[in-house]
Amino acid sequence: DAKTTQPTSMDCAEGRAANLPCNHSTISGNEYVYWYRQIHSQGPQYIIHGLKNNETNEMASLIITEDRKSSTLILPHATLRDTAVYYCIVRVLRDDKIIFGKGTRLHILP
Amino acid sequence: EPEVTQTPSHQVTQMGQEVILRCVPISNHLYFYWYRQILGQKVEFLVSFYNNEISEKSEIFDDQFSVERPDGSNFTLKIRSTKLEDSAMYFCASSPTAGHGYTFGSGTRLTVV
């Protein structure tokens, strides 16, 4: 019962912006969009989350469409260290867990 | 930057033995979690813990598993009688509030032989 759909894999050239899409067409009004990533063999790492407004932090920007049915995570200047699996997750704040899907495997190419 | 610390980094155990995986969450965090990842597979939720009790658990978290916060700083996962299929990377996580992003530890690789 996947709430999100992401491409299996993507490539991006080092130094360019990496734009990772996520579809969440059945998102409900109180569900937030979260992004995590997992660099090989490490624990997942929280990146950013948002409800409907675009968000930016030191790691990335999150662009959510006006109808909230999709979003894009933007890594503005990708480096080789950004090679990882990126997970888009929707959840309500009171959920006692996050559920990981298969994510998008992002390869940053030198 | 505060970290979630997990020990040991790698544990090898005989099938049927009990193991305890240890985690030190970030000190002002109130919500605690265990996840596991079998090699090549998805990260799977096991259990969440808040206010000294389990708040949610998955179907994986059966009677062989238990969690404890024995002293206000450590958060442990016990597997009573390990099976070969328990071999996985186990990740501990914590968060200050339910809606905040989780901070994960670097994991314990459990190998059951």
For A36-72, the pLDDT digits (tens) are: 999 998 999 999 999 998 999 999 999 999 999 999 9
* Strand locations in chain B (E): 5-7, 10-13, 19-24, 31-37, 43-50, 53-57, 65-68, 75-79, 88-95, 103-104, 108-112
Nearest chain B residue to A101 by CA distance is: B42
Residue-level pLDDT at A2: 61
Residue-level pLDDT at B24: 98
Q: Which of A36, A97, A98, A100 best tests the B interface by mutation, with the highest count of B CBs <10 A?
A: A97
Mean pLDDT to the nearest integer, B61-74: 93
pLDDT in tens, B5-53: 999 999 999 999 999 999 999 999 999 999 999 999 999 999 999 999 9
Identify which of A17, A2, A8, A3 has the alpha carbon closest to the alpha carbon of residue A72. A17
pLDDT, greater one: B70 or A79 = A79
pLDDT, greater one: A36 or A92 = A36
Mean pLDDT to the nearest integer, B71-92: 96
Tell me, yes or no, if B110 comes closer than 8 A to chain A by beta carbon.
Answer: no
